[in-house]
A and B are shown apart, each in its own frame.
Chain A
Amino acid sequence: MPSVLNISRRAFLAQLSVFAGALSWIPMLVEAADRSKTSGKVRVGIIGVGSRGSKLLLHLQTIPQVKIVAVCDTYQPHLYGAKKMTDGHARTYQNYQDLLDQPDVDAVVIATPPSFHASITCDALGVGKHVFCEKVMALTLDDCKKMMRVQKETGRILQIGFQRLFDVRTIKAYEAIRQGKVGTLTCLKTHWHRNDSWRRTVKDPTREKSVNWRLYNDASGGLMAELASHQIVISNWILGAVPESVTGLGGINYWNDGRETHDNVSVIFRFPNGVLLNQTCILSNQHYGVVEQFMGSKGTIELEAGKLYLESQEPSPGIYQLIQSIEEKVFRTIPIGGASWVLNNNAEPKAEHLVEGLYMPSPTQLELEAFVESVSSNKLLPDLLDQSYQASVAVILANEAINRGKIVHWPQENM
């Protein structure tokens, strides 16, 4: 697969008629294509090559500047699979410290369960490696702060894998909101509904926790970290703020299989000016799937669908309205049945497509290319790490609110 940056970066960026400075990490992508022809390779090691890690490996292999030199995992079959994906070129390690000791590794990609993110990230930054770490940053506030502090002290690149910030739909929604198309944002509503247990089959019972880590509180932040965090980071960014407080509930009402993390959560974040973000995540019904609704005084954006609905709709043509009113009068006089075939009228909301006809590169591909560019130029992508930190903290606070059954307030910052 050819690199997105080489094929269509310019086309991709041209379609994003964003305000200068608003998307501060996007313009850096512009420089990357030219650099890819001239600069040396970025030598990457991947720590954790399970399902997500091996997917990242495949994406990285399409970037011309990247050379995968090492992979690490505690599970031998994963290591074997990852080495095979690199045609046997990558060296394999079972201990991440051994990989970090390798002088020919410039950057590491961390795709382990979140409970390991902080320690591996800090160790990697400490020995001078650049780090791309999957979301969320960590499971405790202290760990998140520590990661930020170590990044500042070492000056190395740290990027967190919130790929939705590189999604064309998100960027176009941001643009539409900043242009005032939805008026004053007053309410955000998101949900992420699935119908699967999250449980994977484990042949060796001793590996239960390492395979099904999402189901255990000491390794995972549950639904808030795995699903809702993607929507929190977008909400923070679009509102240009962090939540003041959060409250919520959660529990296990369907998958009673010995898991610890909840299979349903519902939380409400309160932002400045009283803007509410209402989120639900469930694992027992997928009918409504993934939805992000940004509601303002003039319109609503449905992000997943890439649509903008305006509050004041243009009325239907007069002749339609005339026919409609005649039909209604005729059918009202008939005692049975109803006018189910009546023409659509102005009650049908019309949508403006935010991304119709636009090229939509994979957000994961773009975020990795942005990381590589960041490493090549040794420049941290502006604002991106702060957004990732704030979203990770919001997840931690939401889980605290759910577990304590209280309203939890945004902490005083003292990193």
Chain B
Amino acid sequence: MKDIVITRAQIRLEGQRFGLCVLGAFLMNALSIIYFQTHWVELVTTLPITFALAGVLYLFSIVFRSMRWLFYLFKSRSG
């Protein structure tokens, strides 16, 4: 059976993607504070929720990338 090799570059890329998700969740938090007119201290007090939201965004990105990979795989075989 062929080993699956995950390169350092791939790990770094996934880390960057997760970082983007954290940033996105943080921005969502900031926007919701502005929109719902609550307190800025929530940027700190709701950090656990922010990270949980980042995890959800990252999961969505995996699903999206898997679907895109399957789409190209199907297209290359049929083409």
| Chain A contacts to B: CB under 8 angstroms | 315-323
| Chain B contacts to A: CB under 8 angstroms | 28-29, 31-39, 42, 45-46, 49-50, 53
**Which residues of B have CB within 8 Å of A320?**
46, 49
Q: Are A317 and B42 in contact (CB under 8 A)?
A: yes
**Which residues of B have CB within 8 Å of A318?**
29, 32-38, 42
- Give the A-B pair count, Cβ closer than 8 A: 40
Q: Are A317 and B35 in contact (CB under 8 A)?
A: no
Q: Are A319 and B35 in contact (CB under 8 A)?
A: no
**Which residues of A have CB within 8 Å of B45?**
317
User: Could you tell me the distance between the alpha carbons of A322 and B34 in the complex, rounded to whole angstroms?
Assistant: 11
Q: Are B38 and A322 in contact (CB under 8 A)?
A: no
List 14 other contacts, CB 8 Å, given A318-B36, A319-B50, A322-B31: A315-B38, A316-B38, A317-B33, A317-B45, A318-B32, A318-B33, A319-B28, A319-B33, A320-B46, A321-B32, A321-B38, A322-B28, A322-B32, A323-B53
The interface centre, meaning the residue of A316, A317, A322 with most chain B CB atoms within 10 A of its CB, is: A317
User: Could you tell me the distance between the alpha carbons of A319 and B44 in the complex, rounded to whole angstroms?
Assistant: 12
User: Could you tell me the distance between the alpha carbons of A169 and B50 in the complex, rounded to whole angstroms?
Assistant: 40
User: Could you tell me the distance between the alpha carbons of A317 and B42 in the complex, rounded to whole angstroms?
Assistant: 6
**Which residues of A have CB within 8 Å of B53?**
319, 323
Closest Cβ of chain A to B57, distance in Å, is 12
The 4 closest A-B pairs by CB, nearest first: A318-B32, A322-B32, A318-B36, A318-B33
User: Could you tell me the distance between the alpha carbons of A319 and B52 in the complex, rounded to whole angstroms?
Assistant: 11
**Which residues of B have CB within 8 Å of A315?**
36, 38
**Which residues of A have CB within 8 Å of B39?**
317
**Which residues of B have CB within 8 Å of A316?**
38
